[in-house]
Amino acid sequence: MSLQLYSWNINGGNSPEKRRRIFHILKKEQLDIVCLQETHVTRLHRKVLINKRLGQEFISSDKVKKRGVVIYAKENLSPKFLFKDEQGRILAIEIQTQGEKFLILGIYAPNEGKSEFYKKLHEIMLDYLDYTNIIMMGDMNGVVSTHMDKSQNQNLTKDGRLPKTFFELTDNMDLIDIWRTRNPLGKEGTFFSEAHLSWTRIDQIWTTRGLAPKIRKVEICPKTCSDHNALKVELRLTPTGSFRWKMNDTLLRDQEIVKKAQKTLKDYFEINLNTSVEKRTIWDASKAVMRGFLIQQNTIKKKLWNGKKDRILEKIREGEKKLRLKPKSKEVLREIKFHQAQYAKLINQEVEWKIKQMKQRSFESANKCGKLLAWQLKRDKN
Q: Determine if residue 248 is labeled as part of a ligand binding site.
A: no
Catalytic residue among 32, 62, 139, 203: 139
CB 139 within 8 A of CB 122: no
Catalytic residue among 72, 108, 118, 343: 108
Q: Determine if residue 171 is labeled as part of a ligand binding site.
A: no
Active site residue 228: yes
Q: Determine if residue 339 is labeled as part of a ligand binding site.
A: no
Neighbours of 308 (CB within 10 A): 13
Active site residue 108: yes
Alpha helices in 15-89 (DSSP H): 16-29
Residues 6+ apart with CB under 8 A from 342: 312
Q: Listing from the earlier edge strand, what are the strands of the sheet with 33-37?
A: 56-60, 69-73, 33-37, 2-9, 231-236, 215-220
Q: Determine if residue 153 is labeled as part of a ligand binding site.
A: no
Query: What pairing do the DSSP bridges indicate for beta strands 69-73 and 175-177?
Result: unpaired
Active site residue 343: no
Catalytic residue among 6, 40, 72, 228: 228
Q: Which secondary structure element, helix H or strand E, spans residue 80, and what is its range?
A: strand 80-84
- Rounded to whole angstroms, the Cα distance separating 228 from 142 reads 14
Query: Read out DSSP for 313-358?
Result: HHHHHHHHHHHHH-TT-HHHHHHHHHHHHHHHHHHHHHHHHHHHHH
Query: Read out DSSP for 186-236?
Result: ----SEEETTTTEEE--EEEEEEGGGGGGEEEEEEPPP-SSSB--EEEEEE
Q: Determine if residue 227 is labeled as part of a ligand binding site.
A: yes
Query: What pairing do the DSSP bridges indicate for beta strands 198-200 and 203-208?
Result: unpaired
The CB-based long-range contact list for 319-324 (8 Å cut-off, 24+ gap) reads: 320/189, 320/192, 320/222, 320/223, 320/229, 323/192, 323/199, 324/151, 324/187, 324/188, 324/189, 324/199
CB 1 within 8 A of CB 216: no
Q: Determine if residue 228 is labeled as part of a ligand binding site.
A: yes
- Rounded to whole angstroms, the Cα distance separating 257 from 248 reads 12
The secondary structure of residue 140, as a DSSP letter, is: -
- Rounded to whole angstroms, the Cα distance separating 54 from 25 reads 11
- Detail the residues annotated as belonging to a binding site for Mg(2+): 9, 38, 139, 141, 227-228
Q: Which residues are marked as active site? A: 108, 139, 228
- Detail the residues annotated as belonging to a binding site: 9, 38, 139, 141, 227-228
